[in-house]
Chains A and B, each alone.
Chain A
Amino acid sequence: MSGLSIDKLSMRFDLPNGGSVQALKDVSLNLKAGELMSVLGPSGCGKTTLLNIVAGFLAPTEGVMELNGKRISGPDADRGMVFQQGALFEWMSVRENVGFGPSMKGMPKADKAEIVDHLLDVVGLQDFKEKAVYELSGGMQQRVALARCLANDPDVILMDEPLGALDALTREKMQGLVLKLWKETGKTIILITHSVEEALLLGERLIVMAPRPGRIHKEYRLPFAEMGVDADLREVKKHPDFAVKREEILEMIWDMEEEIMGRTEESK
């Protein structure tokens, strides 16, 4: 079967004081190839843990994951990851960063150069090819990160708050870019975010997670990502449904946050 399937995933961290924290409990998900899913939740709900497990950086305590029928047992090139920041290699130029995956595979130079050139065109960084990454602005760096991930042609792209460190304007532009890349490449994308608007815009599917133990609280299927492709995202935000959904989800997350606060107060 094609796509990503996650079955009854649980994750428990042992603490140094002998106790343990249930970061995830019985999380099950099925993603079809080419689906765009955003994940929202209050801090501490295990979003990043989930992503790290799917990427293969963490082994789950229980549960099985399969990608295209193949069991996931560690990090691999079929699941690319885009981080919030700091994951680019400062000692390499923009071109070398984007070509990192192909280089590691030992791809012939000409093929690699073609891929890199194409992707730099797509993300609009052709003129910055030979620059060092630390000379670029934050938005440009994230475009390099996106291009680097795509250069490896993964089946799934995992994004851990990729736009979290950008200013509002750059962020909006980058959201458009993510949608464009999703449509053009047809990749399966899981995107973690703190911003409700971003989750609505960049999610055909949106799951809201609840904390302690981390679990899926509610799932939505949304039309906004499809509407946003090649359109002005601000127009999409004016859609009446958009505001309704935003308020609903915000309310939900606020309730969860308040519950956490209450529990913390009690335990004191």
Chain B
Amino acid sequence: MIPLILYVAIFVAAFFVVRMASEGRGTKDYTSLKTVTFGDESAVRPNRAASIISVLSIFFMWATFTGSALIPSVLHMPGPFEGTTTFNYTVENAAGEQDDATVTVLVRPQGEDAVKPEVEAGDGFAKNDTAIVNKWGTKVIVVQGNDDAKKADGAKVVAINGEPVVARSTVVVDGGSVTLTDKGTPNFKAKTGWQMAPLYLPPPEKVWARTLEIASEGYRNFSLWEHVGYSLFRVVVGFLFGAIIGIPLGYAMGLSNWFRGWFDPIVEFMRPVPPLALIPLIIIWFGIGETGKIILLFLAALWIMAIAARSGVSGVNIAKVHAAYSLGASKPQIMRHVIIPNSLPEIFTGARVAMGVCWGTVVAAELVAASQGAGMMIMVAAKFQQTDIVVMGIIMIGVIGFGIDLLMRWAEKILVPWKGKS
């Protein structure tokens, strides 16, 4: 809830700041009325400043809620408690007499060495205690362990910092809170603040450091580039097979009644089946090796490419075919010079979709079972609670997917410049 409120606040603030900054410089022509040109998508252009602020604010949110060193600590959200704190507890023995003692708690980051603070035992039948608690952690502190009035004799904790307590009631103390367990022992919970523990979300610099580390040392016997390379290799090979079979199949379906009739039920049935749903069957048939993955991606690309090629052929303006006939072209010549070039834009659109689907499918397939690949990397890291690797992997998968799409768009511009121009 707090992150959402902060994010909306940044959004609104950025909007007004940018608008004030660009006051008077904005367009005052008809395009400035674009909010009323509903349905005209081209009238709305992305605001560059908004895009930049958007990306920066994502990183800011990430940094501020993880206590990142990248931004000054003033900008951090209130962090978890760290350091030494104390609270008192009151013990009442069977005779009804009461005595106080102090518990000194050292809260320190998990895994860091720490020496238990030395305290004097104090007087009375309740003795002072010490404890070490992890940041974001909790600990049951057996305060009566060293007391003269034993639990077995009927002595029990009746108050924390002077507030009377019974089982399951909570008292807020410096640096955390204390809850009495069912058995009457105080359970200290260190104050968490608003930041997220690295276990849930590591700060950006840690992810970056881990990226460099994995890039140089590798992960699970394979270097980072091998993991990514394996994933890309599967996508490319699967997609190529899908295109090599799918495009001629689509052409045949677009040109022949028999092929159309024969393959229509198969294609129309297979198209809505998500490739992910095929993973179990593929594993049963082909195991978890390369063959299975490539066949899965082949199937993911096949139907998309076949449908794209089919609609590319069917979508040819009949005037073009007629024109070619009346210019003396033979059927094979019309195929070669009219039908195929005319279908290329559709095929490219299909290829872009297919590459996107293949990339998503390969990651999912690797999540299920693989010995290398981007998906396997994040899945194994998640099992070992290496959240930084998980985050790194997700970012990398996103960047690569985006890169693939950019590449396809670029290729489309170069290879089919007439797309959308007829």
B-binding residues in A (CB < 8 A): 52, 55-57, 75-77, 79-81, 83-91, 100-101, 104-105, 132, 134, 145, 148-149, 152, 154, 158
- The 8 A CB mask of B325-361 against A (1 = contact, 0 = none) is 1111110010001100110100000000000000000
A83 touches B327 (CB 8 A): no
Asked whether A100 and B327 contact (CB < 8 A) given A86-B317, A90-B421, the answer is: yes
CB distance from B226 to the nearest CB of A (A): 40
A89 touches B421 (CB 8 A): no
**Cβ contacts B299-329/A at 8 Å (1 or 0 each):** 0000000000000000001011011111111
Tell me which of A105, A134, A149 contacts B422 (CB under 8 A): A134
Given the known inter-chain contacts A83-B322, A87-B320, please indicate yes or no for A104 contacting B421, CB distance below 8 A.
no
Instruction: Provide the residues of chain A in CB contact with B341, threshold 8 Å.
Output: 89, 91
Interface pairs (24), CB distance under 8 Å:
A55-B322, A57-B325, A77-B326, A81-B326, A83-B322, A83-B323, A86-B320, A86-B422, A87-B319, A88-B323, A89-B337, A90-B418, A90-B421, A100-B324, A100-B329, A101-B327, A101-B328, A104-B327, A132-B418, A134-B421, A145-B323, A148-B323, A149-B326, A149-B327
Asked whether any CB of chain A lies closer than 8 Å to the CB of B417, the reply is yes
B404-422: CB near A (< 8 Å → 1, else 0) gives: 0000000000001110011
Q: Which residues of B contact A89 (CB under 8 A)?
A: 320, 337-338, 341-342
- Residue in A81, A88, A91 whose CB lies within 8 Å of B322: A81
Contact A91-B326, Cβ < 8 Å, known A104-B333, A132-B417, A132-B418: no
CA distance A246 to B342 in the complex (A): 42
Known: A104-B333, A134-B418. A76 touches B323 (CB 8 A): no
Chain A: which residue is nearest B319 at the CB level? A87
- Minimal beta-carbon separation of A106 from chain B (angstroms): 10
Q: Which residue of A lies closest to B333 (CB)?
A: A104
Check if B326 sits within 8 Å of A76, measured CB to CB: yes
| Distance, CA A81 to CA B324, complexed state (A) | 9
* Smallest CB separation, A130 vs chain B (Å): 13
Residues of B382-422 at the interface with A, using a CB-CB cut-off of 8 Å, are 416-418, 421-422
A86 lies within 8 A of B319 (CB): yes
Contact of A104 with B319 in the complex, beta carbons under 8 Å = no
Chain B residues within an 8 Å CB radius of A79: 326
A105 CB, min distance to chain B CBs, angstroms: 6
Min Cβ gap A75→B in Å is: 4
Complex CA–CA separation, A35 to B326 (angstroms) = 20
- How would you classify the secondary structure of chain B's contact residues: helix, strand, loop or mixed? helix
Find the A residue at minimum CB distance from B422.
Answer: A90
Please name 12 further chain A to chain B contacts, defined as beta carbons within 8 Å, in addition to the given A89-B342, A101-B327, sorted by A numbering: A56-B325, A86-B317, A86-B422, A87-B317, A88-B323, A91-B344, A91-B416, A91-B418, A100-B337, A104-B337, A152-B328, A158-B326
| B317: chain A residues within 8 A (beta carbon) | 86-87
Roughly how many angstroms separate A7 CA and B320 CA in the complex, as a whole number?
29
A134 to B326: give the CA distance in the assembly, Å: 22
Q: How far is the CB of B89 from chain A (nearest CB, A)?
A: 84
Report the minimal beta-carbon distance from A184 to chain B, rounded to whole angstroms: 20
Closest to B344 in A: A91
Contacts of A152 in B (CB 8 A): 327-328
Beyond A75-B322, A83-B322, A83-B323, whether A104 also contacts B329 by CB under 8 A is yes
B327/A148 in contact, CB under 8 A = yes
Complex CA distance for A81 and B319, rounded to whole angstroms: 10
Q: A55-B326, A77-B327, A132-B418 are in contact. Are A83 and B319 (CB under 8 A)?
A: yes
Most buried by A among B328, B416, B417: B328
B419 (CB) vs chain A CBs: closest residue: A90
Residues of B within 8 A of A148 (CB): 323, 327
Chain B nearest CB: distance from A235 CB in Å? 34
**Given A100-B337, A134-B418, A134-B421, A87 contacting B322 (CB threshold 8 A):** yes
The reply to whether B326 and A80 form a contact with Cβ atoms under 8 Å apart is yes
Q: CA A158 – CA B422 in complex, angstroms? A: 22
Which residues does chain B contribute within 8 Å of A88, judged by CB atoms? 320, 323
In whole angstroms, how far apart are the Cα atoms of A86 and B418 in the complex? 13
Query: Which residue of A has the minimal Cβ distance to B330?
Result: A104
CA distance A87 to B317 in the complex (A): 7
Give CA–CA (A81, B422) in the complex, Å.
19
Query: A116 to nearest B CB, angstroms?
Result: 13
**Is the CB–CB distance between B320 and A76 below 8 Å?**
no
A28 to B417, alpha carbons, bound, how many Å?
Answer: 46
Chain A residues whose CB sits within 8 angstroms of the CB of B333 once the complex forms: 104
A149 contacts across to B, CB distance below 8 A: 326-327
B418 nearest CB neighbor, chain A only:
A90
Contact partner of B328 among A84, A86, A105, CB < 8 A? A105
Contact partners of B344 in chain A: CB under 8 A: 91
Separation of A84 and B323 alpha carbons in the complex (Å): 11
Residue of B325, B417, B422 touching A75 (CB-CB under 8 A): B325
Residues on A with C-beta less than 8 A from B320 are: 86-89
Chain B residues within 8 Å of A90, by CB: 418, 421-422
Closest residue on chain B to residue A74 by CB atoms: B325
A83 and B72 CA atoms in complex are apart in Å by 70
Inter-chain contacts of A80 with B (CB < 8 A): 326-327
Name the residue of chain A whose CB is nearest to the CB of B320.
A87
